[in-house]
Amino acid sequence: MDTVRLALLAGLGVLALAGGVLVFTCDSMARVTFALLGSLCCVGGVVTVLGLPYLGVAIVLMMVMEMVIMAVFMIAYMMNPAGLMPMSMLHNKRGSLLVSGAVFAALVAAVLLTPWPARTGPPPPDTTFQLGKALMGTQMLTMLVLGFALLATMVGATVLATHRGRYDRFGDDLGRRQARDPAGGGVGR
């Protein structure tokens, strides 16, 4: 690995950490959310520099959408959303310091103690193709299970969150042609 890429990795890593620190020091939920977004974009950059451009750019793509949606919920549900009054994002300081310190030490130890295999042969020209083959081949079962779990979670959460069911929308015998909804939609009315 040449010096430019090492410098990029170090710079992005430091920026990602700085964003992570800002998440716990800012008062405003909007600032917290976008500090986290900045941190995650740096992680996307790290993955790109490591030679996985598809994963890196896709991380940025997905994280921007996720963080914007998260901002909506953070502001809806957290106290003091705009940070107009001082508040702390830190809870259970001693316990969380202990847990995070132990996890960090374990991860560093794993990095240093794992006997990493030496590279055999040159790196592949297109890592995106390899990634696709892995996802659609050896990891197919993982992806399918993940997909079903996510879909089931989304449907379940929506069913739990809404108090209206199909009988409210289409009548007791489900005979109504047009659903009776509190807000009009774009189809069929």
Q: What is the binding site for another protein (CB under 8 A)?
A: 28, 30-31, 34, 37, 53-54, 57-58, 60-61, 64-65, 67-69, 71-72, 82, 84, 126, 128, 183-187
**Integer Cα distance of 188 and 160 in angstroms:** 26
Q: Which residues of 93-113 are buried (b: 16+ CB within 10 A; e: fewer)?
A: eeeeeeeeeeeeeeeeeeeee
Measured from the CB atom, is 104 or 129 closer to another protein?
129
- DSSP for residue 79: S
CB of 83 to another protein, least distance (A): 8
Q: Which is nearer to another protein, 115 or 188 (CB)?
A: 188
**What does each C-alpha distance from 187 to 69, 109, 160, 184 come to in angstroms?**
25, 57, 24, 9
User: Residue 121 or residue 186: which is nearer to another protein going by CB?
Assistant: 186
